[in-house]
Structure 1
């Protein structure tokens, strides 16, 4: 077995939340919204935050607030939430040295609607290009379902990110994480 999260050491690093929903002036980004480099840069500028090599970056879409709403929670489970485009992931990693990338969604990356799926496949050659790029090509961990609402409410954009994995051999999914933001 090559994929095994049980051997990942604890991660303690500077965390940065990029609040794209607040930048766009909405409670939550709409379904199937692709987060661009311009969105990331605009949110960082609005926040007065600069990225540094080695940062853990969390992207807030606002969708986790639907977790307690049974009707809207289905959006989270169906990957219908907003997500990061491949160009944004590359900008965060290659231009800024991000070491872990996550969000408040179930999949981090842009998930095309049915009508856009053929064009997405044609452009990227993969249904999950961000996952492939981060996990396979760059060895960068992905965090999902991070509740960033309190950080957003308090306008906390920089914090100490602490995360450990459950030592269960063979696990690969984020359910085995317990992230904490200290500020």
Structure 2
């Protein structure tokens, strides 16, 4: 039995970073240091009728904080069914605050699709081959993670374009087999924007536009985008995973910090530390 007394925590997230080249709509962060905090807190108390000045705080400093402006799809996040459309399976789609937490906690399997090229569409046969390579059976409620290797590009513009994405059929296949949450270490769950646009212009087929997302209009599921460090997880067994989203009323997504729980000293998996990006695997 897994015990927290003998567990290694693996951080599978990237951060919310201002101005990063890997976000089309990067966050902005306004920082208030401790002296600014003292001024703000003292001013708040004076507004309530108390004679407090910034210099009255110990050492003249108060509390630091930040004001973040970001879309809910910045950084590692969980998309709710509402993101894909107003209905799923004929019912009103759930927003992120309505997603059951039970969906976000479970055993995870890592499917290796690093052999695919950027812009490729992940098909059902790719999923079957990856599952056969693992020699594990999916059970209802299992979380499926797609390792593309794209997280190595985090911090660069290429992160936005150099990855394969899920197709509608592969997405349906996993959802029909009981997956409620599917994650990827790439920027997006579908193919890169430019590749979808190219295919649409070439064929005139609207099904080329966000097909994996829109599969969620038929049966509800959630997806995690912009994960990291999937190469640090073992692939010979299922891994306990917790990936509960921030609860934002009526939102299409919520920021999340997925963590995998590995037992004992032999839990290093295939990967190690992300030297290029500076992200470690231990929280």
Q: TM-score range by the shorter chain?
A: 0.7 to 0.9
2:275 pairs with 1:160: no
2:226 pairs with 1:145: yes
Quick one: distance in 2 between partners of 1:179 and 1:121? 38
2:181 pairs with 1:100: yes
Task: Report the structure, 1 or 2, having the larger helix content.
Answer: 1
Pairing partner for 2:139 from 52, 61, 73 = 52
Query: 1:17 matched to which residue of 2?
Result: 110
Taking only aligned residues, the RMSD between alpha carbons, in angstroms, comes to 2.4
Taking a change above 3 Å as real, the CA distance of residues 155 and 46 of structure 1, as seen in their structure-2 partners, is same
Quick one: distance in 2 between partners of 1:138 and 1:89? 10
CA shift, 1:76, in A, is 2.4
CA-to-partner distance for each residue in 1:130-181, whole Å, 9 max, x for gaps?
A: 11112x3212111111111312xx445521121111123343235x112111
2:207 pairs with 1:116: no
Taking a change above 3 Å as real, the CA distance of residues 120 and 130 of structure 1, as seen in their structure-2 partners, is farther
Quick one: distance in 1 between partners of 2:196 and 2:99? 34
Contact 1:163/1:180, CA 8 A, preserved across alignment: yes
* Aligned positions, number: 166
Taking a change above 3 Å as real, the CA distance of residues 113 and 140 of structure 1, as seen in their structure-2 partners, is closer
Displaced runs of 4 or more, over 6 A: none
Contact 2:144/2:183, CA 8 A, preserved across alignment: yes
* TM-score w.r.t. length of structure 1: 0.78
Greater relative contact order structure (CA < 8 Å, 6+ sep): 1
Pairing partner for 1:63 from 128, 147, 150 = 150
Contact 1:9/1:164, CA 8 A, preserved across alignment: no
Greater radius of gyration (CA): 2
